[in-house]
Amino acid sequence: MNYIDFFQNLEEEILKKIVKENIFKLYLTSKEMCKILKNKKITVAIKNKQDYTFSKVKLERLNTRFLVSELRLICCKLGVDDLQAIADVLRENSTLQTLVFKMNNIEDNGVRVIAEALRENSKLQTLKLYWNSVGSNSARAIAEALCVNSTLHTLELEFNNMKDDDANTIAEALHKSTLQKLNLRHNGIGADGAIAIAEALSVNSTLHTLALGGNYIRSDGAQAIAEALRVNSTLQTLMLEDNNIGVDGTLAIAKALGENNTLHTLLLDNNNIGADGAKAIANALRVNSTLHTLNVQSNNIGADGAQAIAVGLYMNSTLHTLNFKNNNIKADGARAIADALYVNRTLLVLELWGNRVGDDGAQTLAESLCENSILQKLELGRNGIKNNGAKVIAEALSVNSTLKILDLERNNIGDDGALAIVEALRVNSTLQILDLQSNKVKNKGKKILSKTWGNRIGILGI
């Protein structure tokens, strides 16, 4: 076995010894290690199984000697016999809380074996089956197990072969299960599957996180989920990125946000929502009082959409993270958001990477930083900012006392701009991370930055 790792507050000397030696053999044979690690809850991760065969005896010995709380099996090419051995132990196990099968190409027969064990297990809390081959038959087995298992709270089925019928099967289980987090990202789920899940959300009272990103739910699926949000009172995180929900789907979600009072995280990136969708979201921000994280990255929102969002920020008092990357807002959009920063008193993280704001946009944002005393992280990478823009940002740093992270990577900042920032750091005592990667800072500027401030803050790109 070429990779085993475990954590949970092990003493440094012990950890060094384990990493140095053949760790898996130590787990099973070393009396000294067993004595040292007795009663410690640990994580065991196994990657690229070669000659080791999983057997019930060996797994029982592993669990007897250590209180294994997490078992991760990565790229192990597990066969049905391997999975049966794990399932047999799972039925009687009293310590394992997290079980991860990643990139194992587990097919229906293998998944069914694990699902059957879940019917009897009363300790496992998290099951991750991503990057496998979960399909129709295995989805049914998992759903049936969810209906009787009362301890599993997290199920991750990301990157599998699930389609609408499979989503419908899982949705049926949501009517009865106690699941709290469901991850179905990057499958083949379309509008029909999303509609089935939405119907389940209307009656489910335990699920707080739903991840459907990277599917094909489109506008119809988004509208169904929006209707569910109007009545659901437990969902807190909704991930709908990369689903092409369009303007109509966004309008429905935005309208639901006006009535929903539990959702706090919403991911809508790469959904082709455009300026009209952004305007709908902006209207929701005016009245919504629970959302604290919003991601609308890569939606071609433009300056008009940015101006609408900015107006929403004037009235919103809960949002603390806004991801606005790659939306082509340019200088006019940046100016609108900068104006909002004078008034807004909750936004902590603002991500404007890849928006072509240029030096003009950088200047307006920098001016707002001189008065804003809330923002802690600002991302301005890949925005065409040159030395003049860096200089005005430096001026802002000389008076700002709250910003901790500043990302200026992939711009056109040279030595003059970098040295201006160096001077600002002489009086700024709060900045912790400065990213200048992939700029035009030459060796001279890099040396000055490193020598002057390299020990006090993390400077990337020098």
DSSP-assigned letters across all residues of 173-223 = HHTT----EEE--SS--BHHHHHHHHHHHTT-SS--EEE-TTSB-HHHHHH
Q: Which of 405, 396, 401 is nearest to 378 (CA)?
A: 405
Place of tokens 């739910």: 217
Going from the first residue of the chain to its last (462 residues), give the mean pLDDT of each consecutive group of 10, the final group possibly shorter: 34 42 34 39 54 52 61 82 86 85 90 95 94 90 96 97 96 95 98 98 97 98 98 98 98 97 98 98 97 98 98 96 98 98 97 98 98 97 98 97 97 95 91 93 83 70 68
Residues 14, 198: Cα–Cα separation, whole Å: 49
Q: Taking a C-beta distance cutoff of 8 angstroms, is the pair 355, 379 a contact?
A: no
pLDDT at 90: 86
pLDDT at 88: 86
pLDDT at 13: 45
Q: Does domain 1-161 have CATH number 3.80.10.10?
A: yes
Structure tokens at 10: 């092990």
Residues 171, 166: Cα–Cα separation, whole Å: 8
Burial class (CB in 10 A: 0-12, 13-18, 19+), 213: buried
**pTM > 0.85: yes or no:** yes
**DSSP SS3 for 314:** helix
Residues 224, 288: Cα–Cα separation, whole Å: 20
Q: Which of 381, 444, 455, 380 is nearest to 418 (CA)?
A: 444
**Amino acid residing at 149:** N
Give start and end residues of each alpha helix (H) in 95-184. Answer: 108-118, 136-148, 164-174
**DSSP SS3 for 266:** strand
Residues 398, 184: Cα–Cα separation, whole Å: 46
CB proximity list for 278: less than 8 A, separation 6 or greater:
296, 299, 301, 304, 305, 306, 308, 309
pLDDT at 205: 96
Q: Which of 37, 89, 102 is nearest to 63 (CA)?
A: 89
Q: Taking a C-beta distance cutoff of 8 angstroms, is the pair 362, 383 a contact?
A: yes
